[in-house]
Amino acid sequence: MATILIVEDDLSLLQLYKIMLEFEGFETYGAHNGEKAVNMFKSLTEKPNIILMDHRMPIKNGIDAAKEILAIDYSAKIIFVSAEPSVKNKALSIGVIKFIKKPFSHDYLISSIKTILNLSECSNII
Amino acid sequence: MVERNLEGGRNINLGIKRNFDRVITTLLIEDNLGDIRLIQEMVKNLEDTLIKLEVRNDLYSGIQYLNRHEIDLVLLDLTLPDSYGLDTIESLLKSVNEMPIIVLTGTGDLVLAIESVKLGAQDYLIKGNLNETLLERAIYYSIERYKIMQKLKKSEEKFHKAFLRADFYKDIFTHDMSNILQGIISGVQLCNLYDIKKIEIDKIDSVTDSIKNLVKRGANLISNIRKLSKLENSSMIAKPTELCKPLKDSIFNLKNTYHSRTMDIKIDAQDRKFYVQSNSLLQDIFENILTNAVRHNLNSRIEIIISITHEIVEDKKFIKLEFLDNGIGIEYSRKNTIFMRGSKEDYSLIGMGLGLSLVSKIIKNMNGKIWVEDRVDGDHSKGSNFILLIPEVI
């Protein structure tokens, strides 16, 4: 079963993402700011298959958290989620695998996650 | 710089002089006795003049004089016993509030004169070319130009503030509103999924509750923006208000809004009734603080203790309210800034909604105070204690 680390400071959104992704059969972890996400990523022995990362968060924003996570493990698959299209290029340039603009539909998120998971399975086979 | 058009200079001067109906007090900071005498004579010879001249011989005594007297303009020599060149004008501008300055220089110092204007002088006069008409004209024009510059500066500040506010509202709509819409769309799709697959029907209720809460959050956001803008544009009148009723109403509304969450809210009060000097937004304070305590709480059981006591601070009587919650807490670095969203761009303010900024503005408006501490000293992760001081009615 694939695991997803959800990083979102809005607790009602974090909760809804969790219910939604668990409903689709994923195992989830939640972090409500960038710093907590980095610490959680460090502490997990089994690294999550996908990280769903919000951008504007207190303490540490999504770009900084993504940079730190990618510095620990460059193969980490981060899906960046933000209402600001202006951060898309920045996110992609640091190595984030996909940018999704808020608000997005459930189907789009799930199909993006599945595509990334399939791709990484292929690359593992190769 | 003043145009050196001497013909007709008196007529232009007369025109601008009509704007002045009082004596213009000018301070001459100059150490050369010959130059002082010359300028004093020129001022004396001016017809119908409204210019009064004071003289100081070095920068230090000039600044001292300026700090104690109302002066309209400074005539400043740049070669003084205690200061030389551009340092003179810089030191003067540092020590006194902005004011119109005319720099006096020698014939060979044109570059210095122009640099002085760049630093903030209104004009320069070259001592060798000085005459009464030029002096009078430079004084009146510099004061007028200074006034116009001040008006322009004020207007720029006003527009800058308006720009920041527009940017702040844009920020609210891109960030906060998108999150609310995201929550609603996710919630609706989740209900559809439950419905299609005919499983976990019992969970639909809690998801529809979340959707309702998000809609309420959107409505609160709009209402808070409206109230913030009202507070920014006018001060509200404070009058004696009983505090417990709006507090209990807020708790009732909170439980109604978040009825799917388990809450334990206790009031620990010294008296049955407390009267504070408050504007009409007292209930908004309580609702925003309480909503915040619920929104930023991951526990299955939300605990809030509200303590109300009498407190004397610096000989003034206040009612002290403490809201202790078991939420996710606020890190040390954010404790001062969480009330400042909209005042400056700072990522640490994101995620706190607009509520606390509004609360802080309302409290300030009624001469109260608000700050936040850890519920358990030194461990922010155990929850927060929002402390309010509201002036008591004596």
Rounded Cα distance, B219 and B233, in Å: 22
The mean-pLDDT minimum among B112-116, B225-229, B281-285, B327-331 falls in B225-229
The mean-pLDDT minimum among B106-110, B270-274, B317-321, B364-368 falls in B106-110
Based on the domain organization, do B239 and B353 belong to the same domain? yes
B324: its two tokens: 């202790």
The residue-averaged pLDDT of B323-329 equals 93
Q: Which CATH architecture has domain A3-102?
A: 3-Layer(aba) Sandwich (3.40)
The residue-averaged pLDDT of B297-321 equals 93
CA angle B179, A50, A6 (to 5 degrees): 35
Residue B210 lies in a domain: no
Residue B123 lies in a domain: yes
| Binding-face residues of B in 330-359 toward A, CB within 8 A | 331, 333-334, 347-352
Strand partners, B388: B321, B370
Among A58, A61, A105, select the one facing B334 at the smallest CB separation: A58
**Which CATH number does the domain housing residue B319 bear?**
3.30.565.10
pLDDT band of B347, cuts 50, 70, 90: very low
Residue B165 lies in a domain: no
What torsion, rounded to 10 degrees, do the Cα atoms B117, B120, B121, B126 define?
-30
The tens digit of pLDDT for each residue in B352-375 reads 557 788 888 889 888 899 999 999
Residue B105 reports pLDDT greater than 90: no
Which residues make Cβ contacts (< 8 Å) with residue A110, sequence separation at least 6?
A24
Rounded Cα distance, A26 and A18, in Å: 9
Task: Examine the predicted complex and report whether its ipTM is higher than 0.85.
Answer: yes
For an interface test with B, the pick among A19, A33, A84 (most B C-beta atoms closer than 10 Å) comes out as A19
Q: Give the DSSP letter string of B91-103.
A: HHHHHS----EEE
Residue B230 lies in a domain: no
Kindly report the average pLDDT of chain B as a whole number. 85
- SS3 string, B22-51, reads CCEEEEEECCCHHHHHHHHHHHHHCCCCCE
The tens digit of pLDDT for each residue in B4-44 reads 444 444 555 555 665 666 789 999 999 999 999 999 999 98
- Residue predicted with more confidence, B102 or B342: B102
**Structural contact between residues A64 and A35, judged by C-beta atoms closer than 8 angstroms:** no
Residues of chain A with pLDDT under 70: 122-126
Among A11, A16, A57, select the one facing B298 at the smallest CB separation: A11
Query: Given this model, what pLDDT does residue B110 score?
Result: 83
Query: Given this model, what pLDDT does residue B153 score?
Result: 93
Query: Given this model, what pLDDT does residue A74 score?
Result: 94
Amino acid at A114: K
Query: Given this model, what pLDDT does residue A124 score?
Result: 60
Q: Do B347 and A83 touch (CB under 8 A)?
A: no
Distance from CA of B183 to the nearest CA of A (A): 6
The tens digit of pLDDT for each residue in B43-97 reads 988 877 688 999 999 999 999 999 999 999 999 999 999 998 899 999 999 988 7
Chain B residue closest to A59 (CA)?
B348
Among B174, B178, B187, select the one facing A16 at the smallest CB separation: B187
Which residues make Cβ contacts (< 8 Å) with residue B46, sequence separation at least 6?
B132, B135, B136
- Looking at B157, B190, B213, which one is the last position of a domain? B157
- Looking at B97, B126, B157, which one is the last position of a domain? B157
Rounded Cα distance, B77 and B74, in Å: 10
| Number of domains chain B contains | 2
Residue B373 belongs to domain spanning: 235-391
Rounded Cα distance, B71 and B65, in Å: 9
Cα B154 to its chain centre, rounded Å, is 14
Query: Given this model, what pLDDT does residue B14 score?
Result: 57
Residue B390 reports pLDDT greater than 50: yes
The tens digit of pLDDT for each residue in B139-194 reads 999 999 999 999 999 999 999 988 887 887 887 788 888 989 999 999 999 888 88
Which residues make Cβ contacts (< 8 Å) with residue B11, sequence separation at least 6?
none
For an interface test with B, the pick among A56, A88, A101 (most B C-beta atoms closer than 10 Å) comes out as A56
Based on the domain organization, do B259 and B138 belong to the same domain? no
pLDDT band of B336, cuts 50, 70, 90: confident
Based on the domain organization, do B271 and B125 belong to the same domain? no
The residue-averaged pLDDT of B106-112 equals 81
- Residue predicted with more confidence, B351 or A33: A33
The mean-pLDDT minimum among A58-62, B105-109, B292-296, B342-346 falls in B342-346
Query: Given this model, what pLDDT does residue A6 score?
Result: 97
Cα B386 to its chain centre, rounded Å, is 23
Residue B37 lies in a domain: yes
So where are chain A's domains? 3-102
**Which CATH number does the domain housing residue B85 bear?**
3.40.50.2300
Rounded Cα distance, B305 and B237, in Å: 30
- Residue predicted with more confidence, B224 or B49: B224
Strand partners, B386: B323, B372
**Residue labelled with tokens 């003034």:** B316
Instruction: Give the CA distances from residue B128 to residues B41, B80, B107, in Å, rounded to whole numbers and listed in that order.
Output: 15, 18, 6
The tens digit of pLDDT for each residue in A71-94 reads 999 999 999 999 888 899 999 999
What pTM, to 2 d.p., does this model score? Answer: 0.70
- Looking at B118, B134, B157, which one is the last position of a domain? B157
The tens digit of pLDDT for each residue in B112-142 reads 888 999 999 999 999 888 899 899 999 999 9
| Upstream peptide bond of A103 is cis (omega within 30 degrees of 0) | yes
